[in-house]
Structure 1
Amino acid sequence: MPAYKKLLLCLFLLTSVHTYAQQQDSVRTLKVFGECGQCKRRIETAVKMKGVSSAQWSPDTQQLVLAYNATLVSLSDIEAKILAAGHDLEGRKATDEAYNALPPCCHYRENTGEADHHADTAAIKTAQLKEVTVGARARSSYISGLNPIRTEVMTDKELLKAACCNLSESFETNPSVDVSYNDAVTGSKQIQLLGLSGNYTQLTVENLPGPRGLATPLGLNSIAGPWVQSIQLIKGTGSVVNGYESIAGQINVELRKPQTADQLYANAYVNSNGKTDLNLDLAHKLNNRWSTGLLLHDDFLENKNLDMNKDGFRDLPTGNQFSAINRWDYTDGKGFETQFGVKALYDNRTGGQTGFRSADKLSASVYGLGINTQRYELFGKIGYVFPQQTYKSIGLQLSAIDHQQDAYFGQTIYNAQQQNFYSNLVYQSIINNTKHKFKTGASFLYDKYDETYKADNYKRNEIVAGAFFEYTYTPSEKVTVVAGLRGDHHNEFGNFLTPRLNVRYEPIEGTTLRLSAGRGQRTANIFAENMSALVSNRDVVIQGGATTYAYGLKPEVAWNKGISVDQKFHLFNNDASASVDFFRNDFTNQVVVDLENARQVKFYNLEGKSYSNSLQLGLNLAPVKELEVHLAYRYFDVKTDYSGELLERPLISKDRAFLSLDYSIAGWKIDYTINYNGRKRIPSTAENPAVYQLPAYSNDFVLMNAQVSKTVGKQRAMDFYVGIENIGGYMQQGAILAADQPFSPYFDASLVWGPVSGRMAYAGWRYKIK
């Protein structure tokens, strides 16, 4: 048979099969109201009948996607089965008898909209909330049992357990993330996940690039806590849709949305150090299609004599930070939606010795520090969901950023600018039925860097174009497999592949096992990410190879593997859960930051091994209805080859224990957190004079925080809160080496392993109009 006839025959057969499948199967989407994983099983089981080939219900969207043979079963028969199971449809209600037979946790009609899953329709809410008092407490953080990628969701209720003036403070009640000071001068903080610094955690804001590159050291301080609606924390490999940079995990921040946020949310905060925070969030729905929001933040600290450890240096820099976001949302009600907005940040801070004044800038008499940051960002999202096929959608994400930072540390100047453009096109659909889903698309990333350190200038452009495909297989409600692959081309590093795999298995109800594995790659920004070395008088040594690479150093590449088990059960007549997770990270290349010579900080490509092992155990329970108890223990084994010697990664605690007590009654909330931090290895200071030498390991220590809050009112709720951080007043003594000689070669503020300031009290007020 001629080749063209074979081709025509194949096309005919494929068309015939596709046409036959279309004739046999109809795909419809129904809105079905429910609440949790039990609802999912009940709904999908109810419609298992002859003629229904697949059924997938999502608690997040309240949508049931059906594939059925209309010649064997009618849609009205399917709907009748759903109603008989006790679940309402859009426009039709189940009988009260069927609804009341559901377990209490599935009573979606009583949902106030503040629980961690989904609201009912406005009509049902209006009819029911006047008569029902909700007895269950919504979880402030949870791990979704249905998501194949293990994702811990921290809601805004979790963030209210502490002051959370900015994102760095949002993790104080989370045992998975460590937050510590980068150094004893700048006041910047970093997170640690899986025993790796925050550089290896991909930080996104609504799945768009967040503070990265030059913004890394101060980025956590630049996102106001009262702006945050929720935080999603992923350990290990995530989705290839979000890019290739995730190595330790991903933190995605969801901000308050104008279409769902309170009309007004105000927050005022002041602490005993003299710091004041003011926040105002506004949202307005213009009509059925348009809504807009404005988020404002301003904080300032003017206490130039804050020096609790009496070393002659300000514990925190003084200055002012102002930031704002204006965003707009449009939806036509037929599947099309777009969001766009602008962000701006102005941050000026001055630190150093308590006697430093602006006239002393760059002098050799008084050590001063100044950081001036200006950041502007435009962002947009365009999406379309096909009305008759809601499993099918297409979306485009866009952002453009200009980040300018001018800084000086003593007599050292570091000025830098980063310009970034990002786009990501995503299309998702199914293959035959909802057991086989996929996402595919293409992305483009452009970064332009211009850095000046002392008299040296470092410029580079990074252009990365890539494409991805991610396949999700769900043969049953117990098993989900997500396999993704993306290929990218970097203008300096060439082509590279990023494979990732996530598997979820639920052998019995309430037990969820997950496996993950994948690759991550990133470019190290050695100056911005190690500003703690710049504030010290260490000599910077770059032992690079290829001059075409950033700083002459190769990209960092690592493979991450993980396993986790989450178990739900009942204890003390209340819901409880336990979890264990283990992650292993192996670098095939890493930009090693070597502080083992007290006079230098060296940067070079890894020669040898570098790995991290992370084990965490967790237990959540409620001994009584009003009290939640969270317990966790975490162990790290993190080592790197430093000039041929395999050593523990410095300034990382092997052991950490965590206890959180949350008590709520009659509008009162009491939150108490205890953190135990084990000892940390300190880089060698043997080359210093004896007076400026430190022991090989730090002390272990305990930190305690507490907060009491009272809520008054409902429609226009008002909160008053007071709290104390570092109740025991523990401080690292001698956090700055040679603080009395800041221009000597022994001056070093980078070896911080504990708190640099003591006990701090605060008070605040929140007010909102729904």
Structure 2
Amino acid sequence: MTFLATCVIPLFIKFYHLMIAFKKLILLLLLLTSAGAYAQQADTTVVFKVFGECGQCKHRIETAVKGKGVTSANWDVASKQLTLTYLPQQVNLTTIQDKIIAAGHDLENRKASDNAYNALPSCCHYRESTDAAADTPEHRAMGDTPSADSAATKTAQLKEVTVSSRTHSAYISGLNPIRTEIMTDKELLKAACCNLSESFETNPSVDVSYNDAVTGSKQIQLLGLSGNYTQLTVENLPGPRGLATPLGLNSIAGPWVESIQLTKGTGSVVNGYESIAGQINVELRKPETTDQLSANVYGNSNGKVDLNLDLAHKLNGKWSTALLLHDDFLENKGLDMNKDGFRDLPTGNQFNLVDRWKYDDGKGFMTQFGVKVLNDDKTGGQTGYRPATDKFSTNLYGLGIHTQRYEVFGKIGYVFPQQTYKSIGLQLSAIDHQQDSYFGLTTYNAQQQNFYSNLIYQSIINNTKHKFKTGASFLYDKYDETFKRDHYKRNEIVAGAFFEYTYTPSDKVTVVAGIRGDHHNLFGTFFTPRLNVRYEPFPGTTLRVSGGRGQRTANIFAENMSVFVSNRQVEILGASSGYAYGLKPEVAWNKGLSIDQKFRLFDNDASASVDFFRNDFTNQVVTDLENPRLVRFYNLDGKSYSNSLQVGLQVSPVKKLDIHLAYRYFDVKTTYSGHLLERPLLSSNRAFAAFDYATDGWKFDYTINYNGRKRIPSTAGNPAPYQLTDYSNAFVMMNAQVSKTFGKKRPMDFYVGVENIGNYFQRGAIVAADQPFSPYFDASLVCGPVTGRMAYVGWRYKI
């Protein structure tokens, strides 16, 4: 892997600049060529409805109309509208529509023959449409998760009757045996969503909280467990993990996100063995479907500015490309709402980009590849801190975090043309992540190099009732960490294979049973069984049960970087040679049960849900903060479990008004030094309410979150002025946003919002803020927001 770091990744970075120049040249040539052609002949653009179901339908429809005289065709999965531009001098509209009918797709006034329709794959049978998201062979061969937009609006045509229904912007997929909540881009627009961490502000299942009161980093919590127990992927490739865990949510720009798939409990063995609490998969904007230009400008009252520019272009019928750019900066060095002398948020600049390319030959072969670059600089600490004069001194307390991350990725897929149920795909990624940081007088520098590959083959056994996926994966992680004067180096090499069988005897029952075996160079061979069952006893009622095993390696420094913003001494207890930090891997068994019910209320669609999940750890790396002078890491000796119960209701009491209500209860306990205690800094009770109203281009969104009290680790060993109460106060967070859309052909959005309307923030969040170099200083015991009321404005534009 040294070759990867010294040769391959730098080479990709150099080629990146060449690709940009090459792309500009191609765009210029295309513009010149198009100008010459259009100067001779005038084209005509028409829009009409074509019935279909998914991404594969989109590909088939757009391919069918290709030919002489057709200059462009774009079919929208959600609206079913085909935007067609053609030259009447060369081809007539009836001839083009004949091709669509022959391909098996109905028009509003014409129907395809039954033979042509029945020849379509089952996932494309739009006449029997349900609320399930598309699951096309093309997606599966590439290892992708289908876009949520494919299920945003469903239309079923049966004989002469057309039935339409509107799906919520966030919903539970009805046919997926693995309980998956899909958040569409419409859901993400309900808040500013500058980055991924803010994308969950309107979701009751995921908690997002500050790691500490100085670094500005945030973490997610799912099923009562911290974010490192949730497998985070980007288009089913490894996302921020390992060293990127504490700051990774901030590194994915919100405007890049097309949809988010949230899975509680055990997921598929195809995606690996690391998922314990669940999986969050993020789908970015695709070159072939996203807008040609999308811009977003955001600014808030704290002084933070975000700039986003996304560009996409179809080079020809087979090639498409997209460039996603993000830049944000905060220069307000005096932001100190609680008047403790420390900046509430670090200042600095983050720049990142994604440059991606896709090739589709229209005959079953597809490939996509690209590069991601991140450069992030943060400076925090006391308001008067200046690195040039105060760094590594006791004049003033300061911190600095500099992160550079380079990633290359690729996917190759092939769908057998005559057997669309059969496909093969290969996923590849390589990452180099470097972080140099200091916290007062403590240094932490680390580098992670990662290589990942996953080969997936899928087919059927006799018929489509019996499907299977099988394949092999390879994971390589090289870690090199320096904490103060101690060095921690390790290589993790994991080779694995998996098999997953799906049995669908009827539309009411689906069983997915999977197992994978992996050999880890440090932990030996282990097996990961998982089971998911879906049963629909009555129309609109869906029951699911799940169970399975998860395993992961704890990165104790990166995942607990908030502890660095304190003067606690670090102890690793019971360490054994040959393991990561001398500690065993974390292993847990997850069990889950859920019921989702759809019904009619107030003459509109409504839904209710109940889910319960339990995690039992057979081993866990315990982070013990019960001594205010120490942070101890050791293997679990006793019980550790989490129980999560959530109930939810979605209703529309009047047209265009959506209300989402939810309540969630956690019972999470771990054995700390022989005592079974409630997990600290976690709210056992949370209530959620969201109100969304839209009319005539206006959108009004209002969200309320109630967070119950949280247990605070013991500070009894501190002097009285630096002692905290055993429990924090409960608090309520309220956010609101109003947006207005102008224009139809080229829409432009203006939005304004307020976060934390009640202006609640944790006072005294930093223990001994007046003595940052004393042994009592601790900024890691954060129970609530560290900043108060914040207003923002923004502008979006699309072409």
AA at the equivalent of 1:220: L
Q: Structure 1 residue 713 and structure 2 residue 747: aligned? A: no
Which residue is equivalent to 2:603?
Answer: 573
Would the aligned equivalents of 1:670 and 1:709 in 2 still touch at CA under 8 Å?
A: yes
1:351-500 aligned at under 5 Å gives the runs 351-358=380-387, 359-500=389-530
Would the aligned equivalents of 2:210 and 2:218 in 1 still touch at CA under 8 Å?
A: yes
Which residue is equivalent to 2:766?
Answer: 736
AA at the equivalent of 2:776: Y
Which residue is equivalent to 1:294?
Answer: 323
Would the aligned equivalents of 2:705 and 2:734 in 1 still touch at CA under 8 Å?
A: yes
Distance 2:413 2:224 in 1: 37
Q: Structure 1 residue 335 and structure 2 residue 364: aligned? A: yes
Which residue is equivalent to 1:199?
Answer: 228
Structure 1 unmatched ranges of 5 or more = 1-31, 37-58, 63-78, 95-100, 125-131
Q: Which deviations, in whole Å up to 9, do the C-alpha atoms of 1:535-558 show, x marking residues without a partner?
A: 110000001331110000000000
Q: Secondary structure at the match of 2:581?
A: helix
Which residue is equivalent to 2:281?
Answer: 252
The answer to which of 227-236 and 134-143 deviates more is 134-143
Q: Structure 1 residue 510 and structure 2 residue 544: aligned? A: no
Would the aligned equivalents of 2:218 and 2:249 in 1 still touch at CA under 8 Å?
A: yes
- Structure 1 residue 103: Cα displacement: 11
1:8-87 aligned at under 5 Å gives the runs 33=51
* Cα gap change, 1:104 to 1:344, in 2 (>3 Å): closer
Q: Which deviations, in whole Å up to 9, do the C-alpha atoms of 1:372-394 show, x marking residues without a partner?
A: 00000000000000001000000
Q: Which deviations, in whole Å up to 9, do the C-alpha atoms of 1:476-519 show, x marking residues without a partner?
A: 11000000000000001000000000000000000000000000
Distance 1:120 1:511 in 2: 19
Distance 1:427 1:103 in 2: 28
Q: Secondary structure at the match of 2:492?
A: strand
Would the aligned equivalents of 2:476 and 2:494 in 1 still touch at CA under 8 Å?
A: yes
Out of 601, 606, 609, which is 2:636 matched to? 606
Q: Secondary structure at the match of 2:363?
A: coil
AA at the equivalent of 1:340: F
- Structure 1 residue 713: Cα displacement: 1.0
Distance 2:308 2:106 in 1: 45
Which residue is equivalent to 2:151?
Answer: 117
Which residue is equivalent to 2:83?
Answer: none
- Structure 1 residue 118: Cα displacement: 7.4
AA at the equivalent of 1:765: W
Distance 1:285 1:104 in 2: 30
* Cα gap change, 1:82 to 1:294, in 2 (>3 Å): closer
Out of 200, 220, 239, which is 1:210 matched to? 239
AA at the equivalent of 2:615: N
Would the aligned equivalents of 2:154 and 2:165 in 1 still touch at CA under 8 Å?
A: no
Q: Secondary structure at the match of 1:506?
A: strand
Would the aligned equivalents of 2:190 and 2:701 in 1 still touch at CA under 8 Å?
A: yes
Distance 1:677 1:610 in 2: 23
Identity %: 79
Would the aligned equivalents of 2:379 and 2:399 in 1 still touch at CA under 8 Å?
A: yes
1:260-299 aligned at under 5 Å gives the runs 260-299=289-328
* Cα gap change, 1:116 to 1:708, in 2 (>3 Å): farther
Which residue is equivalent to 1:755?
Answer: 785
Out of 569, 573, 588, which is 1:539 matched to? 569
Which residue is equivalent to 2:348?
Answer: 319
Out of 695, 704, 711, which is 2:725 matched to? 695
Which residue is equivalent to 1:69?
Answer: none
Would the aligned equivalents of 2:105 and 2:112 in 1 still touch at CA under 8 Å?
A: no
Distance 2:299 2:499 in 1: 49
- Structure 1 residue 357: Cα displacement: 0.3
Q: Secondary structure at the match of 2:409?
A: strand
Q: Which deviations, in whole Å up to 9, do the C-alpha atoms of 1:624-664 show, x marking residues without a partner?
A: 11100000000000000000000000000000000000000
Q: Structure 1 residue 682 and structure 2 residue 712: aligned? A: yes
Q: Which deviations, in whole Å up to 9, do the C-alpha atoms of 1:451-495 show, x marking residues without a partner?
A: 000000000000000000000000111000000000000001000
Out of 546, 552, 564, which is 1:522 matched to? 552
Structure 2 unmatched ranges of 5 or more = 1-49, 55-76, 81-102, 119-125, 134-146
AA at the equivalent of 2:798: K
Would the aligned equivalents of 2:152 and 2:169 in 1 still touch at CA under 8 Å?
A: no
4+ long deviations beyond 6 Å: 79-84, 89-94, 101-106, 118-121
The answer to which of 136-145 and 631-640 deviates more is 136-145
Which residue is equivalent to 1:15?
Answer: none
Would the aligned equivalents of 2:148 and 2:259 in 1 still touch at CA under 8 Å?
A: no
Q: Which deviations, in whole Å up to 9, do the C-alpha atoms of 1:405-456 show, x marking residues without a partner?
A: 0000000000000000000000000000000000000000000000000000
Would the aligned equivalents of 2:626 and 2:713 in 1 still touch at CA under 8 Å?
A: yes
AA at the equivalent of 2:748: M
Would the aligned equivalents of 2:574 and 2:635 in 1 still touch at CA under 8 Å?
A: yes
Q: Secondary structure at the match of 1:670?
A: strand
Would the aligned equivalents of 1:718 and 1:765 in 2 still touch at CA under 8 Å?
A: yes
AA at the equivalent of 1:140: S
Distance 2:215 2:379 in 1: 8
- Structure 1 residue 591: Cα displacement: 0.2
Q: Secondary structure at the match of 1:766?
A: strand
Matched length: 680
Distance 1:421 1:104 in 2: 40
- Structure 1 residue 34: Cα displacement: 5.4
Q: Secondary structure at the match of 1:691?
A: helix
Would the aligned equivalents of 2:214 and 2:345 in 1 still touch at CA under 8 Å?
A: yes
* Cα gap change, 1:583 to 1:320, in 2 (>3 Å): same
Which residue is equivalent to 1:52?
Answer: none
TM-score, with length taken from structure 1: 0.85
Q: Secondary structure at the match of 1:640?
A: strand
Q: Secondary structure at the match of 1:682?
A: coil
Would the aligned equivalents of 2:608 and 2:648 in 1 still touch at CA under 8 Å?
A: yes
Q: Which deviations, in whole Å up to 9, do the C-alpha atoms of 1:31-54 show, x marking residues without a partner?
A: x95569xxxxxxxxxxxxxxxxxx
Q: Secondary structure at the match of 2:187?
A: helix
Would the aligned equivalents of 2:212 and 2:781 in 1 still touch at CA under 8 Å?
A: yes
Would the aligned equivalents of 1:116 and 1:139 in 2 still touch at CA under 8 Å?
A: no
* Cα gap change, 1:390 to 1:186, in 2 (>3 Å): same
Which residue is equivalent to 1:17?
Answer: none
Would the aligned equivalents of 1:611 and 1:638 in 2 still touch at CA under 8 Å?
A: yes
Distance 1:273 1:213 in 2: 30
AA at the equivalent of 1:268: V
* Cα gap change, 1:758 to 1:88, in 2 (>3 Å): farther
Superposition RMSD on alpha carbons, in Å? 2.8
* Cα gap change, 1:89 to 1:179, in 2 (>3 Å): farther
Q: Which deviations, in whole Å up to 9, do the C-alpha atoms of 1:115-152 show, x marking residues without a partner?
A: 6527899xx9xxxxxxx9x9964421111110000000
Distance 2:221 2:150 in 1: 26
Distance 2:567 2:578 in 1: 28
* Cα gap change, 1:677 to 1:116, in 2 (>3 Å): farther
Out of 767, 775, 779, which is 1:745 matched to? 775
- Structure 1 residue 570: Cα displacement: 0.2
Q: Secondary structure at the match of 1:221?
A: helix
- Structure 1 residue 89: Cα displacement: 6.4
Distance 1:389 1:82 in 2: 23
* Cα gap change, 1:391 to 1:739, in 2 (>3 Å): same
Would the aligned equivalents of 2:153 and 2:166 in 1 still touch at CA under 8 Å?
A: no
Q: Which deviations, in whole Å up to 9, do the C-alpha atoms of 1:706-760 show, x marking residues without a partner?
A: 0000001112110000000000000101000000000000000010000101000
AA at the equivalent of 2:268: S
Would the aligned equivalents of 1:247 and 1:558 in 2 still touch at CA under 8 Å?
A: yes
TM-score, with length taken from structure 2: 0.82
